[in-house]
Amino acid sequence: MPPRLSPSHLLGNLETLAAIGAIEGGGCARLALTDEDKVGRDLVVGWMKELGLSVTVDAIGNVIGLRAGRETGAPIMTGSHIDTVRTGGRYDGNYGVLAGLEVVRALNEAGIVTRRPIAVAFFTNEEGARFQPDMMGSLVYAGGIGLNEAYAATDKDGVAVGDELRRIGYLGPVTPGALKPRAFVELHIEQGPILDEEKVQIGVVESVQGISWTEYTVTGVSNHAGTTPMRLRRDAGYLASSVNLFARKLAWDMGGDQVATVGEMAFRPNLINVVPHRAVFTVDLRNTDDAQLKAAEVEVAAHIAEVATSEKVEVEAKVLARFEPVIFDSGLVGRVEHHAKALGRSTRRMPSGAGHDAQMMQRLCPTAMIFVPSVAGLSHNVKEHTEAADLIAGAEVLLNLMLELAEARGPR
Ligand code: GLV
Ligand code: MN
Ligand code: MN
């Protein structure tokens, strides 16, 4: 009997997980290592166990469910993340993890034991919305940063990753990266408009663009908004606001894939009639071309230096994340395309605009991603939506690809 996916299980589980940390409008707030994240983790671990997977938790809180093969050795791994941004949707990350579990269910029900083991993982703090850098669990897994560096990352209240992992009971005993997969495949919603606009069913992801995150703290002088002449102002808020406008124009002028976002900005004392003495803001720059990304970083830094001088304010910069663009394994990318087409789906090769755990896993083993459309390209938004038929179509591509990879012969 060929393995068949159960649409009702996949859709039902997505719904059940989305109820944890549910927020108005249909979205989720399960920031990494919060109580909500713990409840979500416990639920998914329970599902993994029900499916007969042997579950391990590593020292950065990554959870791996392993299904034994006819032979031992490196598994074929799939997975993603179940943490969300504060205003997250229900599909980002969660879809890839729960679809991985449905692959396992389909194999279980068909009585298939694959040649190679299969693993389904969820990685800690992919979003980077509470602790930076983003993709933290998979980055540690791939050896990109050490445990102590990750443990020391703090949120805005000064609470550290290591303490939160311990508090929610997910500082596990296993060394991250101890299980090196033979291949990694991540299924994810596109989170952008391309597939929806072009009415294409499956995105064959060839690469992930580079990411540059910097937090700036500006110090000026608070003064009376009515009495301080413009020539005497040392306005921290002015610099922050000017960077927002500058970065947006820069991205337009550079064209190509360059994007720029000032997503956080906070003023002190934040009062209508006081010139701000302090501003903290972030700049998120991304490009598929690292030379272009570096050029954008240089332009932003030069603009900040110029305004800091003219406004007589001090600026401190802290790099929160910096990842170069990643190219996925061409052979595996080709197999994503093959299986999508064999299932009669329309396909399109594309880069990923968002960051993903897969970009870290490519450091460890051949990796690829499968995208499904996001309605109106909305994501990191409670209205994030993907049609059920598209969710199932993507999971079918994942199932067939996992089966092929898990049956493949060749050196281990
Ligand atoms: C993670 O979701 C990112 O791309 O910001
Ligand atoms: Mn994601
Ligand atoms: Mn996300």
Query: How do the domains of the chain map onto residue ranges?
Result: 7-208+326-407, 210-323
pTM > 0.75: yes
Cα of 93 from ligand 3 centre, angstroms: 7
CA angle 356–103–6, rounded 5-degree value: 115
Architecture of domain 210-323: 2-Layer Sandwich (3.30)
Cα of 304 from ligand 3 centre, angstroms: 28
Q: Which ligand is nearest to the CA of 135?
A: 1
Q: Which ligand is nearest to the CA of 88?
A: 3
> What are the residue ranges of helices labelled H in 111-216?
136-141, 147-152, 161-167, 194-198
What topology does CATH give the domain 7-208+326-407? Aminopeptidase (3.40.630)
Q: Find out whether the peptide bond into 133 is cis, omega within 30 degrees of 0.
A: yes
The verdict on the CB of residue 355 being under 6 Å from ligand 1 is: yes
Cα–Cα distance for residue pair 155/211, rounded to 1 Å:
20
Q: Which ligand is nearest to the CA of 355?
A: 1
Closest CA to 385 of 5, 115, 15, 1: 15
| Residues whose Cβ atom is located within 5 A of ion ligand 2 | 92-93
* Helix-helix angle 94-110:388-407, to 10 degrees: 60
Average pLDDT, 10 consecutive residues per value, the chain (412 residues): 93 98 97 98 98 98 98 97 97 98 98 98 98 98 98 98 98 98 98 98 98 98 98 98 98 97 98 98 98 98 98 98 98 98 98 98 98 98 98 98 94 60
Ligand 1 closest atom vs CA 353: 4
Pocket test for ligand 1, best of 139, 261, 380 (most atoms within 8 A of CB): 380
Structure token digits, residue 121: 């993982």
Closest CA to 79 of 107, 102, 60: 102
Backbone φ and ψ of 42, nearest 5°: -60, -40
Closest CA to 95 of 401, 406, 385: 385
What's at 159, amino acid-wise? V
Confidence at residue 412, expressed as pLDDT on a 0 to 100 scale: 53
Cα of 194 from ligand 3 centre, angstroms: 17
The verdict on the CB of residue 177 being under 6 Å from ligand 1 is: no
Confidence at residue 2, expressed as pLDDT on a 0 to 100 scale: 86
Confidence at residue 410, expressed as pLDDT on a 0 to 100 scale: 76
Cα of 133 from ligand 3 centre, angstroms: 13
